[in-house]
Amino acid sequence: MTSDDHPRCNRQKTVLVTGATGYVGSRLVPQILPHYQVRCLVRDPARLDDSIRDQVEVFQGDVMHSHSLHKCMQGVDVAFYLIHGMGYGADFQKKDRIAAENFVAAAQQAGVSRIIYLGGLGDDADPELSPHLKSRHEVGQIFLASDVPTIELRASVVLGPGSLSYELIRSLTQRLPMMICPKWLSTPTQPIATQDVLAYLQESIELPLEKSEVFEIGSQDVVTYGGLIQMYAQERNLKRVLISVPLLTPYLSSLWLGLVTPTSAEVGRHLIEGLRNPTVVRDDKARQIFSHQPMTTQEAIRQAVQQEA
């Protein structure tokens, strides 16, 4: 259904979802559809799931082009920004910045009451923060500095079938009985189940908000990337041996991953660069503010494996 022929609806708010064909967005839209008038900004409407296409307003456009943004933002109450630029190429940071600035300008002009952004965990003070995480944080800062009240949710690895990070873990574990692993497998992380991310995003629509806020979200426990591989192997009844060596640079690691996973080496490189940085929850105020409480990492992996089946 296009924006021109959508019937009038008495739902409480009009919610814009960008990234509606991506991993998180495509799962969020059907979850919030029973409660809100949902509008999707997509570059290719054909990629929208057939089961929801006739239930949402569809605007074809791109966050890199301000004209299409201004058009789709009219009448929007809450706008989700579920986009990142790892696939933009070498200058993805610049394009991320332009896209975020375009989004803020359109939201301010349209009188949007709230932006909800899914960013990434990581310490802003870390001098070795990867370009990918720096860019995610910069986008958040652009939103937070705007006149539009913003909720930035910062998450680490999202555990669920189809998630890029989860597919890396799954592919590596299934294909390599013995892994010669780079040092980053000992980096601490605080993953989160897809179901938990969606719950936080949905609750953010109505969360009382006096000013823009950053909430760090994660599972109930901290693990390492090597621990994630072992947890996945355990759930699949696989025996895996990990041999850690300090010789594989992030660039070489991404090439190695490109050989054994369906992920491109370019995207893999950006992901691997981020894996050297601890991504853990340092401020747990989300536990006090949100009613939703996340599951453990083991529960998240178990659920993901069951969904695979």
In a domain, 58, yes or no: yes
Torsion angle of alpha carbons 278, 103, 84, 212, nearest 10°?
A: 20
Name the residue range of residue 68's domain.
Answer: 14-156+193-218+280-294
How far apart CA 228 and CA 185 sit, in angstroms, is 9
**Number of structural domains in the chain:** 1
State whether residue 162 is helix, strand or coil. coil
In a domain, 253, yes or no: no
Torsion angle of alpha carbons 182, 183, 189, 195, nearest 10°?
A: 10
- Per-residue model confidence (pLDDT) at position 131: 86
- CATH number at 92 reads 3.40.50.720
**Alpha helix segments (H runs only) across 44-147:** 50-53, 66-73, 92-110, 131-144
In a domain, 22, yes or no: yes
- Per-residue model confidence (pLDDT) at position 265: 55
In a domain, 124, yes or no: yes
Give the other-Cβ count within 10 Å of 69's Cβ: 26
How far apart CA 294 and CA 187 sit, in angstroms, is 21
Spatial CA neighbour of 79 closest among 55, 106, 54: 106
In a domain, 257, yes or no: no
Looking up tokens 């803020």 gives 104
How far apart CA 76 and CA 186 sit, in angstroms, is 44
How far apart CA 199 and CA 294 sit, in angstroms, is 9
In a domain, 227, yes or no: no
In a domain, 235, yes or no: no
- Per-residue model confidence (pLDDT) at position 90: 66
In a domain, 251, yes or no: no
How far apart CA 246 and CA 248 sit, in angstroms, is 6
- Per-residue model confidence (pLDDT) at position 10: 44
- Per-residue model confidence (pLDDT) at position 115: 98
Give the other-Cβ count within 10 Å of 303's Cβ: 19
State whether residue 278 is helix, strand or coil. coil
- Per-residue model confidence (pLDDT) at position 294: 97
Q: Number of helices and strands (H, E) in the chain?
A: 12, 13
Query: Average pLDDT for consecutive 10-residue bins of the chain (309 residues)?
Result: 44 90 95 96 92 93 88 96 73 91 96 97 89 92 97 96 85 76 83 97 96 97 91 90 68 61 59 81 96 97 91
- Per-residue model confidence (pLDDT) at position 99: 94
